[in-house]
Amino acid sequence: MVKKEEFEIRRKRFQTFIRRLRRNSLSFGASIVILAITLIAIFAPLIAPYDPNATDANQAMLSVSRHHLMGTDIYGRDVLSRVIHGARVDLLVALVATLIALGISSFLGSLSGYAGGWLDHLLMRIIDTIMSFPSFILAMGITAALGNNLVNVVIAIAITHIPIYTRLIRGEMLHIREREYAEAARTVGNPTSRIIFYHLLPNCFPPVIVQATLAMGWAILTVAGLSFIGLGIQPPASEWGYMTAEGATYIVSGEWWIFLFPGLAIMVTVLAFNMVGDALRDILDPRMRGVS
Amino acid sequence: MNPPLLHIEDLTVHFHTDEGIVEAVDGIQLLVPAGEIVGIVGESGSGKSVTALSILRLIRKPGRIVQGAIRFAGRNLLDLTEEEMRHLRGSHISMIFQSPRTSLNPVLAAGWQIERLIRLHKQEKAKDAREQAVQMIRQVGIPAPERIYHEYPHQLSGGMCQRIMIAMALVTNPKLLIADEPTTGLDVSIAAQILDLLKEMGQRTGATILLITHDLGVVAGYCDRVAVMHAGQVVESASVKKLFRQPLHPYTIKLIHSVPRVDVDMVMETIPGNVPGLIHPPPGCRFADRCQWVMEICRKTRPPVQSLDGDHLVACYHIGNS
Amino acid sequence: MGEFIEILDLSKHFPVKDQSADFRLLTPFHSRQAILRAVDGISFFIRKGETLGLVGESGCGKSTVARCLLRLLEPTRGKIFFENTDLTGLKGESLRLLRKAIQMIFQDPMASLNPRLSVRQVLEEPLRLHERVTVKEREERVLEVLEQVGLDRELLTRFPHELSGGQRQRVNIARAIATRPKFVVLDEPTSALDVSLRAKIVLLLEELKSALSTTYLFISHDLSTVKYLSDRVAVMYLGAIVEIAEAHELFRHPLHPYTKALLSAIPIPDPEVKRDRIILEGEIPSPTQIPSGCRLRGRCPLAEAICSEEIRLREVAPDHWVACHFSGMQ
């Protein structure tokens, strides 16, 4: 009898999971797209038909064909292979930057929200300062100051994203710390650090998850944008923004494929991230019930 | 007994959720004589609030009124168009809810919310409407009505907000006022004041009141008749005196004995088991699993409603066997 | 001195921005700060092994008292003694260790459980934090506690939203008794429950008290339940205790006008019983504007000139204390 009840509960949970996914069909589709892009990024060397850095003057500026599904660029490099490898760079930068930002923000935001007082005031003023700069300009400034390489782009993006997450987490924390289970955690004898980081912080995450997926999209745009203007990634690295910049000069002369495909890659990826937020939040929330 | 103002016949309401069809109200019958205060008492999940909302046809998806008739002053409300229902709501049939602070519009002044209704339903001129609103505030026992007119709900206490709600409900002189747990969340002394007010206003305006509550004490103190609901069904209904003097349904009996009293010492009993789930409810009597007098037939078919002394109705096979 | 728990002159004041401040007055010279005196200098004691009921309406401060006892809030003034140890001075680790002996059961069963923790995690936590036991012993204790509150062991893997209201409250109770506390504060443990559930939980609490030999402080606005469970009852109004007596005595012979009014307002589930309602004028004043002298002044039917003088609790009958100028003349 015990086993049967257990089975029932598991079955119910699974059904709810599927139901949620199906209801957010758009997000579901978007998550498939992201999964695909991630796999492409991971297995890039195996999937790409050519070496993305292999130049071949004879094959330069070829339009879309059976041999080169996305054509070749001015140096004869296969655009498709470069786009595939570009996924690695863009996704990795966006992901690492987001994770770093989340890590730091979780700590700062929860501390700020729970403790209140002068600590909260101080942190919020610092956050305000960062937020007063348009984020892209700030990213430009940081990258230019630290130097043009991948690591610094990651740092720049992380810094520009910290304010958003910190504020969100702080806001949730302000709300949650008044709840009775926070009080209960204290009466049971938890030290304050455990109350904040083990009990309350995980419950702050749902809105942050949605924000994080949106922010991933922005992060990719920022990487691409920085490379587009010549900061950050250096050639000959395949990176979508840089490739789009290269291809932009050839629009007028008619070689449309050089900018279009990397541009499309950026668009599809960012769109997918924008749409996946809802589904991800629902899946991670233990509380959401199925109501039709 | 007065002629019925409201007669609910065989009302069934289902909710279509992801997990299945919730049979929230199952073929209930209710008679509300004009001019009386009739109570519906039951625990959460008993279907009392759904019944109230059904009268005003406020049940929205995923809920559906599956069958039944709700006769109000001769007409079956379930046959009316939405337009006709809208005409009734707020003017012929009014409703007040629990949590008065959240039921009032937080961005509008209290008095203005009353005045709006006057203008809407009675088409009075602005000046007259304003005066009537202030009068109404005074009538519900709020001192300094002209000042309170301008206050916002968050500036008023819970008790005052509920009085404003009552004012809003009665300003159009409805024939029927439905009060859904109007004192839940209010302090004991304030709750008593509100109920007194409700009773007084009912007598003054001649309105019939349908009082929905989970508190047997409230039923005993204020209602003339009462219907007891359990798991979507009406198990017993009678005049209040008869119900407390001679409760017939096992649920009613157990319920009365499970409520501790301040005036006498008693042994508190519990009702075994839990309210059955309403998604695949048991075919027979829904109290069968919790009843100490349960018989074979109770689980198989739903007990028919028997009538004793004309107005004491019970749905139980055990009656007449004890 | 020497009682199990002693509260001496406990006060908790909150500074609040005056809500009704007129805009024009909010200049730097006019910042209006009111003080919300939630608990205003109360003293009482709890005997070992008894259940003390604490009743009152909203704004009376009973929940604040509970939180001060648990040190969830810091008292503004006053002392709390637990088995002759001064609680008010404790900090850090010694305070945390105290939590083993003093526990609380909260009102809202859903809100007092972390939605992300399973029942097992909830119940293991107090044991992890306080007892040096092996994994096996901990598991045994969890099962033992689960059984004591009448729950099936299969509920261990469930999350709060997968439990019914009654089950959640039992989990709450189980959590509170896991460390075998000597003193449990029950803050409206049945208010959020249905009538039939209430009875079951009340009986469970009664059972547990004798099984564990604990002491209870039972806070509620539901006087009928308080009468059923309590040995003695204290009545609070606007931050002060106005009457305290043995339970039956209080309900049979209430002496303070507020107590009488309160009792007369409780609905009785019996239409034959006719009662005289004692109605207090007006509404409960805000705890930011507590009347001077007797707190019930302005609402009390007995009020006279002498009521503008302060009045403290005094023993007018054996173990029956009242704060009223006219008691003792009953």
The ipTM is 0.84
What do you get for the CA distance between the two ends of chain C, in Å? 30
Q: What is the structure's pLDDT at B181? A: 92
- B85 plus B183 within the same structural domain: yes
CA quadruple B125, B128, B133, B139: dihedral sign: negative
- B18 plus B77 within the same structural domain: yes
Kindly list the partner chains of chain A, i.e. chains with 3 or more CB atom pairs below 8 Å. Answer: B, C
Q: What is the structure's pLDDT at A292? A: 26
Give strand pairing partners of C314: C322
* Pairwise CA distance, residues B222 & A196, whole Å: 49
Q: What is the structure's pLDDT at B282? A: 86
Residue showing tokens 């930057």: A97
pLDDT tens digits, residue range C255-299? 999 999 999 888 888 888 877 788 887 778 888 888 888 888 888
- Is the pLDDT at C25 greater than 60, yes or no? no
Residue B97 lies in a domain: no
- B184 plus B38 within the same structural domain: yes
User: What would the mean pLDDT of B124-139 be, rounded to a whole number?
Assistant: 88
* Pairwise CA distance, residues B135 & B130, whole Å: 9
The tokens describing C261, both together, are 């009014």
- Is the pLDDT at B104 greater than 80, yes or no? yes
**Looking at CA atoms only, how far is residue A23 from chain B in angstroms?**
11
pLDDT tens digits, residue range C164-175? 888 999 999 999
- B54 plus B139 within the same structural domain: no
* Pairwise CA distance, residues C164 & B317, whole Å: 30
Short-list C124, C119, C177, C194, CA closest to C151:
C119
- Classify strands B4-17 and B20-33 as parallel, antiparallel or unpaired: antiparallel
Residue B74 lies in a domain: yes
* Pairwise CA distance, residues B228 & A194, whole Å: 48
Short-list C236, C172, C191, C222, CA closest to C41:
C236
Query: Residue A113 maps to which CATH number?
Result: 1.10.3720.10
**Looking at CA atoms only, how far is residue C188 from chain A in angstroms?**
13
Q: Is the peptide bond before B62 cis (omega within 30 degrees of 0)?
A: yes
Q: What is the structure's pLDDT at A286? A: 60
Q: Which residue from C100, C112, C116 is facing A180, i.e. has the nearest CB?
A: C112
Q: Which residue from C58, C200, C269 is facing B217, i.e. has the nearest CB?
A: C269
CA quadruple A214, A218, A221, A227: dihedral sign: negative
User: What would the mean pLDDT of C94-106 be, rounded to a whole number?
Assistant: 88
* Pairwise CA distance, residues B36 & B224, whole Å: 6
Contact indicator for A170, A109 with CB cutoff of 8 Å: yes
**Residues in A lying within 8 Å of C, measured between beta carbons:** 2, 5-6, 9, 179-181, 183-191, 199, 202-203, 286-287, 289
Is some CB atom of chain A closer than 8 A to the CB atom of C128?
Answer: no
The tokens describing C34, both together, are 């009111």
**Looking at CA atoms only, how far is residue A27 from chain B in angstroms?**
20
Mutate to test the interface with C, among B222, B270, B275 (most CBs of C within 10 A): B270
CA distances from A65 to B261, C61, C261 (A): 89, 80, 92
Residue of A nearest to B22 (CA): A291
- If you count them, how many residues does chain A have? 292
CA quadruple B34, B36, B37, B42: dihedral sign: negative
The tokens describing B170, both together, are 């009665």
Residues of chain B found within 8 Å of residue A11, distances taken between Cβ atoms: none
Residues of chain A found within 8 Å of residue C100, distances taken between Cβ atoms: 189
Short-list A47, A56, A118, CA closest to A86:
A47
- B179 plus B225 within the same structural domain: yes
Counted across chains A and B, CB pairs separated by less than 8 A come out at 12
- B66 plus B215 within the same structural domain: yes
Close Cβ partners of C116 (under 8 Å, ≥ 6 residues apart): A202, A203, A286, C159
Q: What is the structure's pLDDT at C2? A: 67
- Asked if C221's CB is within 8 angstroms of B262's CB, the reply is no
User: What would the mean pLDDT of B212-233 be, rounded to a whole number?
Assistant: 93
Residue of C nearest to B154 (CA): C19
- B210 plus B297 within the same structural domain: yes
Residue of A nearest to C66 (CA): A187
Short-list B53, B72, B38, CA closest to B237:
B38
Amino acid in position C155? L
What domains are defined for chain C?
5-101+181-322 (3.40.50.300)
Q: Which residue from C196, C269, C271 is facing B43, i.e. has the nearest CB?
A: C196
Contact indicator for C66, C185 with CB cutoff of 8 Å: yes
Short-list A89, A73, A102, A72, CA closest to A212:
A102
Per-residue model confidence as pLDDT tens for chain A (292 residues)? 456 667 777 787 777 777 776 777 777 788 889 889 999 999 988 888 888 888 887 878 888 888 888 888 888 888 888 899 989 888 998 999 999 999 999 999 999 999 888 999 999 999 999 999 998 999 999 988 988 888 899 999 999 999 999 999 999 999 999 899 999 999 998 888 999 999 999 999 888 888 888 888 889 888 888 888 888 777 777 888 888 888 888 888 888 888 888 889 999 998 898 888 766 776 666 654 433 2
Other C-beta atoms closer than 10 Å to the C-beta of B150 total 11
Short-list A100, A31, A8, CA closest to A281:
A31
Tell me the three-class secondary structure of C189-232, residue by residue.
Answer: CCCCCCHHHHHHHHHHHHHHHHHHCCEEEEEECCHHHHHHHCCE
- B178 plus B168 within the same structural domain: no
- Asked if B240's CB is within 8 angstroms of C283's CB, the reply is no
Short-list B226, B227, B216, B169, CA closest to B11:
B227
Domain that holds residue A77: 2-284
* Pairwise CA distance, residues B219 & B225, whole Å: 8
Close Cβ partners of B106 (under 8 Å, ≥ 6 residues apart): B152, B153, B154
- Is the pLDDT at B222 greater than 80, yes or no? yes
Residue B322 lies in a domain: no
Spacing of C-alpha B211 from chain mean position = 4
Residues of chain A found within 8 Å of residue B14, distances taken between Cβ atoms: none
Contact indicator for A157, A96 with CB cutoff of 8 Å: no
- B281 plus B161 within the same structural domain: no
Residue A289 lies in a domain: no
Residue B320 lies in a domain: no
Residue A239 C-beta-side C-alpha neighbours within 13 Å:
30
- B188 plus B285 within the same structural domain: yes
Q: What is the structure's pLDDT at A291? A: 31
As a dihedral over the C-alpha atoms of residue A218, residue A224, residue A227, residue A228, rounded to 10 degrees, the angle is -110
Which residue, of B144, B173, B202, is where some domain finishes?
B173
- Quote the number of domains for chain A: 1
State percent of chain C over pLDDT 90.
Answer: 46
- Quote the number of domains for chain B: 2
User: What would the mean pLDDT of C52-58 be, rounded to a whole number?
Assistant: 92
Residue B99 lies in a domain: no
**Looking at CA atoms only, how far is residue C143 from chain A in angstroms?**
15
Short-list A39, A35, A15, CA closest to A27:
A35
- B88 plus B111 within the same structural domain: no
- Classify strands B63-72 and B233-239 as parallel, antiparallel or unpaired: unpaired
Residues of chain A found within 8 Å of residue B16, distances taken between Cβ atoms: 292
Short-list C75, C285, C67, CA closest to C188:
C67
In this prediction the pTM is: 0.85
- Asked if C104's CB is within 8 angstroms of A184's CB, the reply is yes
- Asked if C272's CB is within 8 angstroms of B260's CB, the reply is no
**Confidence band of C21 (pLDDT split at 50, 70, 90):** very low
Q: Which residue from A183, A184, A286 is facing C116, i.e. has the nearest CB?
A: A286
* Pairwise CA distance, residues B192 & B159, whole Å: 10
pLDDT tens digits, residue range A227-279? 888 887 777 778 888 888 888 888 888 888 888 888 899 999 988 988 887 66
Query: Residue B240 maps to which CATH number?
Result: 3.40.50.300
Contact indicator for C201, C193 with CB cutoff of 8 Å: yes
Residue A161 lies in a domain: yes
- Asked if A286's CB is within 8 angstroms of C114's CB, the reply is no
User: CA B165, B170, B174: angle at the middle one, nearest 5?
Assistant: 135
Among A280-284, C157-161, C226-230, where is mean pLDDT lowest?
A280-284
The tokens describing C226, both together, are 């308080």
Residues of chain B found within 8 Å of residue A19, distances taken between Cβ atoms: 18
**Looking at CA atoms only, how far is residue C142 from chain B in angstroms?**
24
Other C-beta atoms closer than 10 Å to the C-beta of C30 total 10
Exposure pattern of B124-138 as b/e (b: 16+ CB <10 Å)?
beeeebbebbbebbe
User: What would the mean pLDDT of B103-117 be, rounded to a whole number?
Assistant: 91
How high does pLDDT run on average in chain C?
Answer: 87
- B193 plus B266 within the same structural domain: yes
Which residue, of B124, B157, B173, is where some domain finishes?
B173
Q: What is the structure's pLDDT at B1? A: 59
Short-list A206, A203, A237, CA closest to A223:
A237
Is some CB atom of chain B closer than 8 A to the CB atom of A290?
Answer: yes
* Pairwise CA distance, residues A225 & A79, whole Å: 19
CA quadruple A177, A178, A183, A186: dihedral sign: positive
Q: What is the structure's pLDDT at B281? A: 87
Is some CB atom of chain A closer than 8 A to the CB atom of C180?
Answer: no
Q: What is the structure's pLDDT at A185? A: 93
Residue B321 lies in a domain: no
Q: Which residue from C164, C166, C263 is facing B262, i.e. has the nearest CB?
A: C263
Which residue, of B146, B173, B200, is where some domain finishes?
B173
User: What would the mean pLDDT of C22-51 be, rounded to a whole number?
Assistant: 76
- Asked if C108's CB is within 8 angstroms of A180's CB, the reply is yes
- Tell me, what DSSP letter sits at residue A239? -
Residue A90 lies in a domain: yes
Residues of chain C found within 8 Å of residue B260, distances taken between Cβ atoms: 199, 202, 224-225, 227-228
- Asked if A291's CB is within 8 angstroms of B62's CB, the reply is yes
- Asked if C159's CB is within 8 angstroms of A184's CB, the reply is no
Domain that holds residue B37: 4-92+174-315
Close Cβ partners of C297 (under 8 Å, ≥ 6 residues apart): C291, C303, C307, C308
